[in-house]
């Protein structure tokens, strides 16, 4: 037994040494954060295991008004079952800018912080629009090479990054521990990883979803504004939109403090919903123009006819002929907006539904259909 234990520990030590020598030691952090906490993938509370920047709550909080029939309508049986099966921890329906229905589970509340995952991409795109408004960035057509010489003369623009049309050699693989997506999530010095990317396809020609696009865009915004992205978010949106609670934004490490911009804003359903309202109202927040309306309109329309599912930082869809745009995270985090009916649906939770032959999983449609069923009962 002693020989076996010594042999086993020797093998483990050798593996650890190889990982450090080959610069794959971040895998050890991934094992510690995921598997040793009883999970099999990234999870909604994992921000506890990473360094973060704090985004303070607004000093002028603006709570969502509650409709007269707030929480009087019962969830449909299908919604209740879906929420149970997929581990929904927050579900909101907002109609005419008032809360109609909200529910929380597993001890989560309207103030609980959970990971946004890729909903953060929509926030970063909004910050791009704000940086253009503020004169830090010239336009969607400004070359990335103006900010980072590594991309000089590549033809890559900031708009290409926001619309997922960069041509970068990023591998969007979530299961490969040796891939760049895992490295970006668990390693330190994220900027070094990003600046080693190459443009291998012609930018601006077609849509290809790459999380690295948003990370590089965040680096551009940060360099252009000379502000930490969390600070710029607080000044530009969190404060003027009256966010009621502080948020967290994960950073790569304590030294570099570059936000993981393609993911990882820790906030709650009510405050995430504010971005749905902002874009529904074309950049206006309760009478104040926070974001250029033309930029917003462009963001929630497809850039490429061949890829109608994506605009600039937002997912796009149709529901029974109605235009829909959404913020979306990998575990079924959603801020779904149907402007025609002035409806916003927010869902946060542990899992998403089944993948179908569609850019969206089936739960996306269930949440919309059941929310409409509930709204019909209340009318």
pTM of the model: 0.94
Confidence of residue 155 (pLDDT cuts 50, 70, 90): very high
358 or 57: whose pLDDT is higher?
A: 57
Q: What mean pLDDT do residues 312-335 have? A: 96
Q: Which of 36-50, 61-75, 163-177 has the highest mean pLDDT?
A: 61-75
Confidence of residue 379 (pLDDT cuts 50, 70, 90): low
Gap between the Cα atoms of 102 and 83, Å rounded: 12
Give the pLDDT score at 324: 98
Q: What mean pLDDT do residues 316-324 have? A: 94
Is residue 359 scored above 50 in pLDDT? yes
Q: What mean pLDDT do residues 174-197 have? A: 89
Give the pLDDT score at 354: 93
- Tens-place pLDDT, residues 17-44: 444 555 566 777 778 888 788 888 889 9
Q: What mean pLDDT do residues 245-252 have? A: 96
Gap between the Cα atoms of 247 and 237, Å rounded: 12
Over the chain, what is the mean pLDDT? 93
Give the pLDDT score at 23: 58
Buried b (16+ CB within 10 A) or exposed e, 303-313: bbeebeebbbb
Residue 106 falls in which region: left (phi positive, over 0), alpha (psi -120 to 50) or beta? left
Is residue 255 scored above 90 in pLDDT? no
Confidence of residue 8 (pLDDT cuts 50, 70, 90): very low
- Tens-place pLDDT, residues 67-102: 999 999 999 999 999 999 999 999 999 999 999 999
**Domains of the chain: residue spans and CATH:** 1-40 (no CATH), 41-378 (3.40.710.10)
Give the pLDDT score at 35: 79
Which alpha helices (DSSP H) does the chain contain, by range? 2-21, 26-33, 77-86, 119-133, 158-162, 180-186, 190-195, 211-225, 229-233, 269-280, 293-299, 362-378
Bridge partners, residue 267, by sequence: 114
């Amino acid at each position: 037994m002693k020989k076996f234990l010594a042999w086993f520990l020797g093998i483990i030590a050798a593996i650890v040494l190889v990982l450090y020598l080959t610069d794959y030691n971040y895998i050890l952090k991934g094992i510690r954060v995921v598997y040793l906490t009883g999970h099999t993938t990234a999870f909604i509370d994992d921000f506890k295991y990473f360094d973060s920047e704090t985004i303070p709550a607004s000093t002028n909080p603006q709570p969502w008004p509650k409709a007269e029939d707030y929480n009087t309508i019962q969830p449909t049986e299908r919604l209740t079952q879906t929420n149970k099966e997929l581990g929904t921890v927050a579900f909101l329906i907002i109609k005419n800018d008032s809360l109609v229905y909200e529910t929380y589970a597993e001890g989560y509340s309207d103030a609980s912080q959970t990971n946004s995952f890729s909903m953060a991409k929509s926030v970063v795109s909004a910050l791009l629009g704000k940086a253009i408004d503020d004169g830090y960035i010239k336009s969607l057509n400004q070359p990335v090479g103006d900010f980072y010489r590594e991309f000089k003369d590549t033809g890559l623009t900031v708009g290409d990054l926001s619309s997922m049309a960069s041509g970068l050699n990023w591998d969007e693989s979530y299961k490969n521990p040796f891939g760049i997506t895992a490295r970006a999530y668990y390693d330190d010095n994220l900027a070094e990883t990003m600046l080693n990317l190459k443009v291998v396809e012609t930018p601006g020609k077609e849509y290809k979803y790459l999380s690295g696009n948003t990370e590089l865009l965040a680096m551009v915004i940060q360099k252009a504004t000379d502000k930490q992205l969390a600070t710029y978010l607080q000044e530009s949106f969190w404060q003027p939109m009256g966010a009621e609670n502080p948020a967290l934004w994960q950073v790569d490490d304590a030294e570099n403090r570059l936000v993981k911009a393609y993911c990882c804003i820790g906030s709650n359903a009510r405050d995430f919903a504010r971005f749905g309202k902002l874009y529904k109202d074309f950049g206006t927040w309760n009478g104040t123009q926070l974001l250029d309306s033309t930029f917003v309109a462009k963001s929630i329309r497809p850039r490429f006819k061949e890829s109608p599912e994506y605009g600039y930082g937002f997912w796009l869809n149709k529901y029974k002929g109605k235009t829909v745009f959404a913020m979306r995270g990998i575990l079924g985090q959603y801020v779904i907006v149907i402007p025609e009916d002035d409806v916003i649906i927010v869902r946060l939770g542990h899992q998403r539904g089944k993948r179908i032959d569609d850019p969206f999983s089936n739960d996306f449609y269930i949440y919309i259909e059941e929310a409409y069923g509930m709204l019909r009962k209340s009318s």
